[in-house]
Amino acid sequence: MQVLENISLKPYNAFGIDVKARYFAELHSDNDIAAFFSALTEERMPFLVLGGGSNMLFTKDFEGSVACIRSKGIVKLMEDEKHVYLRIAAGEVWDDVVKYAVDNGWGGIENLSLIPGNAGTSPVQNIGAYGVELKDVLYSVEVADVIARHYRAFRPADCEFGYRTSIFKNRGKGRFVITSLCLKLDKQPVLKLDYGDIRRELGKAGVKDVTISAVRDIIIKIRSSKLPDPSIIGNAGSFFMNPVVSADEYARLIKKFPAMPSFKSGDEVKIPGAWLIEQCGFKGKRYGDAGVHENQPLVLVNYGSATGKEILVLAEKIIKSVLKKFGIGLEKEVNIF
Ligand SMILES: Cc1cc2nc3c(=O)[nH]c(=O)nc-3n(C[C@H](O)[C@H](O)[C@H](O)COP(=O)(O)OP(=O)(O)OC[C@H]3O[C@@H](n4cnc5c(N)ncnc54)[C@H](O)[C@@H]3O)c2cc1C
């Protein structure tokens, strides 16, 4: 493991924000992770764990140590008649894991195709797309507790999962470093096709034999046509979460805004944040190099040399405007540093 000094984090975050880390190391194994965090806890230096940097907005230099997790390995731990259990090192690229599962005919994560970032980060915000969330397939998470200085495993019930959240994003942030996870996948996959445009696009493509592989292909096609590619234009996917309101609050809103779209979410109602932002006139707006994506207003973009602060100012402006017009508080999905 090599510890570097004063490194630009521009290549390490999907927004392409140019800030520096005082110290920086790529950790390629569990041993590297152990050595790095043992040294840190002795020195009490602030640290930041970085995966693929696809859910981060850096607003200033980081005056501590950045640990970039790059450990690799996918191991079949066990299997029974119905399931296979995979142990995945935290530094595996999430979409490589999805491809591996699909290539082997194991179902459960095909709807989460093409989500950027590391497998080890997937529990942090309980990644979700097309009607599936990580918690649906998670068996356990192994973490290094850098405060108590030991390793432990979490079962899903301990992870405090919610919509784009978990213990790792909230009270466990800065304490639990995820080193690996175990997924429980189906040997007889159950397809989930009733979300978004999946069925329509499968029909349009003339797919008769719908397999997990066909679902993965169609989701990659849909996502690629809708979301900006961070390697071309800096972004961190949805900057805001879709707000969830109570049934009473929704009744008040729909009376005032009859065109407001919504989805049921348990006893509550989810409102598409993109619609709220568009109604406030921000869709496609650009302020210098900071902007709102022209097709997907939930996504803020860096057209080139925007600073993290400029993106954040734009985000706050949007939040204020949505609150004023609808009385709804948008929450940020992206982690701000
Ligand atoms: C184009 C695009 C589309 C996206 N689409 C989706 C989507 O459909 N659904 C969705 O849920 N998300 C989506 N995202 C967001 C992002 O892909 C996920 O949040 C992903 O899990 C982030 O992984 P990462 O490794 O890049 O995390 P990073 O950005 O590196 O880190 C995110 C947070 O996790 C912490 N962290 C990282 N690794 C660890 C670890 N090993 N242990 C503990 N904490 C850690 C970091 O400190 C930080 O707080 C999208 C992003 C982009 C750019």
321 is catalytic: no
Tell the residue nearest (CA) to atom 47 of ligand 1.
49
164 is catalytic: yes
- List Cα–Cα distances, 281 to 2, 55, 325, in angstroms: 48, 25, 11
Query: Which residue is catalytic, options 26, 65, 238, 310?
Result: 238
Regarding whether 96 and 120 lie in a shared domain, the answer is yes
pLDDT at position 149 is 87
Largest alpha-carbon pair distance within the chain? Answer: 60
What spacing in Å lies between the alpha carbon of 109 and ligand 1's midpoint?
16
Residue where a domain stops, chosen among 69, 93, 120: 69
The tokens of 273 are what?
Answer: 């944040």
Q: Give phi and psi for 142, each to the nearest 5.
A: -100, 135
Regarding whether 82 and 203 lie in a shared domain, the answer is yes
Tell the residue nearest (CA) to atom 41 of ligand 1.
178
Place of tokens 């696809």: 54
Q: Say which CATH number the domain at 40 has.
A: 3.30.43.10
Confidence band for 261, pLDDT divided at 50, 70 and 90: very high
- Ligand 1, atom nearest to 124 Cα: 34
Confidence band for 310, pLDDT divided at 50, 70 and 90: very high
Q: Say which CATH number the domain at 259 has.
A: 3.90.78.10
The pLDDT tens digits of the residues spanning 197-241 come to 899 999 999 998 899 999 999 999 999 999 999 999 999 999 999
- Ligand 1, atom nearest to 13 Cα: 29
- List Cα–Cα distances, 56 to 52, 232, 273, 311, 334, in angstroms: 9, 17, 19, 12, 6
Q: Using the predicted structure, report yes or no on whether residue 272 has a pLDDT greater than 80.
A: yes
Query: Which residue is catalytic, options 65, 164, 216, 310?
Result: 164
User: What residues are in contact with ligand 1 under a 6 Å CB criterion?
Assistant: 14, 48-56, 69, 90, 115-118, 120-122, 124-125, 127-129, 168, 177-178, 227, 230, 235-237, 335
Contacts of 59 by beta carbon, 8 Å cutoff, 6+ apart: 17, 19, 307, 308, 309, 312, 336, 337
Which of 331, 283, 332, 290 has the alpha carbon at shortest distance from 15? 290
What spacing in Å lies between the alpha carbon of 51 and ligand 1's midpoint?
7
Q: Say which CATH number the domain at 178 has.
A: 3.30.465.10
- Ligand 1, atom nearest to 52 Cα: 26
What spacing in Å lies between the alpha carbon of 148 and ligand 1's midpoint?
25
The pairing of strands 20-27 and 62-69 is parallel
Regarding whether 120 and 63 lie in a shared domain, the answer is no
pLDDT at position 41 is 67
Regarding whether 104 and 222 lie in a shared domain, the answer is yes
238 is catalytic: yes
What spacing in Å lies between the alpha carbon of 177 and ligand 1's midpoint?
14
Count up the domains in the chain and report the number. 3
Quickly list DSSP for 175-242. TEEEEEEEEEEESS------STTHHHHHHHTT--S--HHHHHHHHHHHHHHHS--TTTSEEEEESBPP
Least confident of 10-24, 192-206, 296-310: 192-206
126: containing domain: 74-226
